[in-house]
Amino acid sequence: MGKYIVKRVLSMIPLLFVVSVIVFMFIHLIPGDPARQIAGVDATIGEIDNIRRQLGLDRPLVEQYVTWITGIFHGDFGISYSNNMTVAELLIPRFPITIYLTICSITWSALIGIAIGVIASINRGKTLDLVGMVIAIAGISLPNFWLGLQLMQIFAVDLRLLPTGGVNTWQGYILPSVSMGAGIMAILARVTRSSMIENLNKDYIRTARAKGLPEPRVIMRHAFKNSAIDIITVTALQIGALIAGSVVVESVFSIPGMGRLLVDSIGFRDYEVVQALILFFSVEYMVINLLADVLYGIINPRVRYE
């Protein structure tokens, strides 16, 4: 397992290089000029060119990339064009907000989604199975921004039970986490049900039942344990998608997290902030998938990597 982890970490290095190049080129090739944004609508061509030189945007793209990536190795992600703060100063206070929102979302969605999937698989073709799949289809079909607006209208405006936005209190995380996690809950429910049904039809399950093992033990210790790899894989992918998908929900609920910062920075053509955020999302996606691979061997001893 140790050798496998080292190999995976080393394989991430060239992948990160490729991602950094794609991110840098994509950001600099989209329409818009941050120098013009900073200078304002009444600025002269000379003033715009002067700002462009100050920002280093007049240099060749290759030189700009080398400067940027070299700075990252030294912990310098650049200076924000919009407020002259370092990118690190902008990200540090927003990082825990997005991470906590993601943890809340994945926690409730995983617990409920997996429970629905297990119950539906045990009662295949029955009423509970039908109800569970209806909930799953509804969760997948509802866009998170639309669900967020409806939840805000009902629980914040009409019933006045929860705040409409912000995360000043723990109640502020409830509606955003429900909006973000509904689709994940539905996906996990369907994956769990499908994997459990497949495993419940295997010969080792029939053997366990023939030995007289209690049904709960057969389901949880045998069928569910072998379904865990599929569930972990999907959960890991969804955690990465949640952090990246926080862009919409944070904008709807006015949450000062990394997702909303990304939207604001794209609108201002703040290259340094956008590059840092997208690179961060890419790194966390790789790390989460690495952790998922490690969990495979921990949960199921038969899955070992040399």
List, for residues 152-181, the tens digit of each pLDDT value. Answer: 999 989 988 888 877 788 888 899 999 988
Question: What distance in Å separates the CA atoms of residue 181 and residue 234, rounded to the nearest whole number?
Answer: 13
Overall domain count for the chain = 2
Higher pLDDT, 76 or 306: 76
pLDDT at 278 over 80: yes
What is the pLDDT, as a whole number, of residue 192?
93
What confidence category does residue 299 fall into, taking pLDDT thresholds of 50, 70 and 90? Answer: low
Domain endpoint, select from 73, 108, 124: 73
Residues 65 and 24: beta-carbon distance below 8 Å: yes
Decide if 306 is inside a domain: no
Same domain, 18 and 140: no
Residues 180 and 253: beta-carbon distance below 8 Å: no
86 forms beta bridges with 79
Instruction: Give the three-class secondary structure for 165.
Output: coil
pLDDT at 266 over 90: no
pLDDT at 70 over 70: yes
| Nearest alpha carbon to residue 189 among 253, 114, 263, 108 | 114
Quote the domain boundaries for residue 99.
90-299
List, for residues 106-149, the tens digit of each pLDDT value. Answer: 999 999 999 999 999 999 889 999 998 898 888 888 888 888 89
Distances (CA, A) of 65 to 15, 75, 81: 16, 15, 17
Same domain, 7 and 156: no
Q: pTM for this one?
A: 0.81
Share of the chain above pLDDT 70, in %: 95
What confidence category does residue 301 fall into, taking pLDDT thresholds of 50, 70 and 90? Answer: low
